[in-house]
Amino acid sequence: MKVNFLIIGAAKSATTSLSNALTMHPEVCFSNPKEPQFFSKNDWRAHLTSYHSQFAKKAKLYGEGSTNYTKYPSFNTNIHDDIYEYNPDMKLIYIMRHPIERIISHYIHSYNRGYETSKPIDDAIMSNPHYINISRYAMQITPYIERFGRDKILLLFFDDFISKPQEVLDRTFKFLNVNSITVDKNDLDSNKSFNRSVLHYKYDHPKTLSEKLKKVGLIIKNYFNSDFISSKPQISEATKAHIINSVKADISVIETLTKRDLSHWLDY
C-alpha cells in the first residue's frame, strides 16, 4: 500500500474537522491516530511497516493529517523531498485561516496543553517565531508546489469550511477523485481550543487502569482549573502590526495562487 493523500495544515485551521469528514467516506481509510507526524522524523524510512499499520482497512485511498508537515523549519527541513520520495503522486490538502486568528488559536491550544508557558500572548508571539512561521502560508506551501506541481495541491480556506462545509467537502472529494457524500455539519468535530477535556500533553497516553482513572479525574479537575485559557485573549496593536508585516508578502503570493482577494487579512 501507499498513502495517497495528506492534509498538511495549517494547524488550528479546521484540519481535524476535515479529517473527520474524510474518515466517514467509504472509499477512504484514514490513519489512526489522525496525526502520525510520520514524515516529520528524519528516520521515517526505517519505520514504514509501523506507519502502514496505522491504516486499518483496505480502501481506494489512504490518507492522514499531520500539521507538522507545514511547520517549516521546526521539523525535518527535507520533508518536501522526503514525501516526494515516498510517493511522487501524493495529493496534498492545505487549509488556511486568517493569520492572526490562527495564531491566537494556536497559542490557546499550546498553553492549555502545556507546550507554552508565556503570558501574556504578546510575549509568546514576539519571542517565538514558530507562531508566525506557521501563518506564513506561502513559505510553507511553495516548496510543495515546486516539488509536486500545483495540480497535486488543494488550497482551501477556513472561513469557507465554516460557512459552507459541504461545498468545501465536495471540492475535496473531487480533488481526491472519490464520490461525493453528504456530511452532517454536526458530525464534524471542531476541536475547539476551549475544550476543558484538553489536558497537559504528559497525560496523553495512559497505559494502566490506574493511569486511565487518574486521567478521568484530571479532566474533571480541569473544569475548575483557573489557569486554563477559556476565552479569547487580546493581543496588542503592536503585535498585530508585527504579524501582518511579517506575513504580508506571503498573503500576496496566496492571493495569486488562489485568485482570491485576501485584503481583509491585512485589516484586523
Q: Residue 82 is part of a domain; what is its CATH number?
A: 3.40.50.300
Q: Does residue 60 lie in a domain region? A: yes
Q: Are residues 223 and 155 in the same domain?
A: no
Q: How many CB atoms lie within 10 A of CB 20?
A: 19
Q: Are residues 59 and 171 in the same domain?
A: yes
Q: Does residue 57 lie in a domain region? A: yes
Return the closest-CA partner of residue 13 out of 137, 114, 112, 122: 137
Q: Does residue 132 lie in a domain region? A: yes
| Confidence (pLDDT) at 188 | 78
> Which element (helix H / strand E) includes 17?
helix 15-23
Q: Are residues 258 and 187 in the same domain?
A: yes
Q: Are residues 91 and 219 in the same domain?
A: no
Residue ranges making up the domain that contains 207: 195-228
Contacts of 204 by beta carbon, 8 Å cutoff, 6+ apart: none
Q: Does residue 236 lie in a domain region? A: no
Per-residue pLDDT averaged across 67-84, rounded? 96
Percent of the chain whose pLDDT exceeds 70:
85
Q: Are residues 216 and 98 in the same domain?
A: no
| Confidence (pLDDT) at 7 | 98
Q: Are residues 22 and 98 in the same domain?
A: yes
Q: Does residue 233 lie in a domain region? A: no
| Confidence (pLDDT) at 195 | 66
Task: Examine the pLDDT at 176 and tell me if it is beyond 90.
Answer: yes
Q: Are residues 131 and 212 in the same domain?
A: no
CA triple 46-52-55, angle to 5 deg: 155
Q: Are residues 56 and 42 in the same domain?
A: yes
Domain count, the chain: 2
Q: Are residues 93 and 202 in the same domain?
A: no
Q: Does residue 234 lie in a domain region? A: no
Task: Examine the pLDDT at 222 and tell me if it is beyond 80.
Answer: no
Please name every residue paired with 155 in a beta bridge, in sequence order, or none if there are none. 94
Q: Are residues 223 and 248 in the same domain?
A: no
Q: Are residues 119 and 180 in the same domain?
A: yes
Per-residue pLDDT averaged across 37-46, rounded? 96
Contacts of 151 by beta carbon, 8 Å cutoff, 6+ apart: none
- Three-class DSSP labels, 150-177: HHHEEEEEHHHHHHCHHHHHHHHHHHHC
Q: Are residues 100 and 202 in the same domain?
A: no
Task: Examine the pLDDT at 215 and tell me if it is beyond 60.
Answer: no
Q: Tell me the pTM.
A: 0.88
